[in-house]
Amino acid sequence: DAGVIQSPRHEVTEMGQEVTLRCKPISGHDYLFWYRQTMMRGLELLIYFNNNVPIDDSGMPEDRFSAKMPNASFSTLKIQPSEPRDSAVYFCASSLSGARDTQYFGPGTRLTVL
Amino acid sequence: SQQGEEDPQALSIQEGENATMNCSYKTSINNLQWYRQNSGRGLVHLILIRSNEREKHSGRLRVTLDTSKKSSSLLITASRAADTASYFCATEVGGSQGNLIFGKGTKLSVKP
């Protein structure tokens, strides 16, 4: 298995632009998670899905952030409009049984908003 | 506030020595997991210990869990330069299916 795939690996954009991050979870995993990692705040859970349905989006910082999972093999995290404080590494992870199980992380997308 | 907090924040040792990292948490848990993150990479799962377990081993790793003290420790024996990474504990808070809360990590440096 190729593991969790994220794209792009690096994204540099200007403030106000729309940013879309993509994730392909491991086949057969029912849970998908989006995390954000910064030096100041560490690793934060933004949102997670179970069987393509958003379960908990309480970690999404603002309405500028949105996430979708149209099918079991694809999810997007969108930021519109982006701001410099959104600069971080965004990770996608998937697992069989949520927090009771191993989570498999993708390589991350390093986002820089100028 | 942070559920899990690792201690120390940074640790520097020589190759061959043992490394011990600690994690304290605040509320009751169903399980506790340890992850490793190499610089510029995603997190990699190391070991999961359930709330009814006290100790678990995996290769050179030994994890203990003391639910009365709300703490866990990760011991890496006979460390290698390749063990240089950040190590995170993560706790599953009771009643939540997906909410795994990560600490801020211990940065381990193993000098050859």
Verify whether the Cβ–Cβ distance B97 to A100 is below 8 Å.
yes
What gap in Å lies between CA B89 and CA B94, rounded to an integer? 16
pLDDT of residue B95: 60
∠A64-B96-B56 over CA atoms, to 5°?
120
pLDDT in tens, A18-47: 999 999 999 999 999 999 999 988 999 999
Mean pLDDT of B13-30: 93
CA of A85 vs chain B CAs: smallest distance (Å):
19
Whether the pLDDT of residue B87 is over 80: the answer is yes
pLDDT of residue A97: 81
pLDDT of residue B6: 84
Please indicate if any CB of chain A lies within 8 Å of the CB of B102.
Answer: yes
pLDDT of residue B108: 97
pLDDT in tens, A64-105: 999 999 999 999 999 999 999 999 999 999 999 877 789 999
Q: What is the DSSP string of A71-112?
A: ETTEEEEEESS--GGG-EEEEEEEESSGGGS--EE---EEEE
Q: Given pLDDT bands bounded at 50, 70 and 90, which one contains residue B1?
A: very low
Q: Torsion angle of alpha carbons A56, B105, A109, A112, nearest 10°?
A: 100
Verify whether the Cβ–Cβ distance B98 to A98 is below 8 Å.
yes
Q: Given pLDDT bands bounded at 50, 70 and 90, which one contains residue B96?
A: low
∠A52-A6-B81 over CA atoms, to 5°?
125
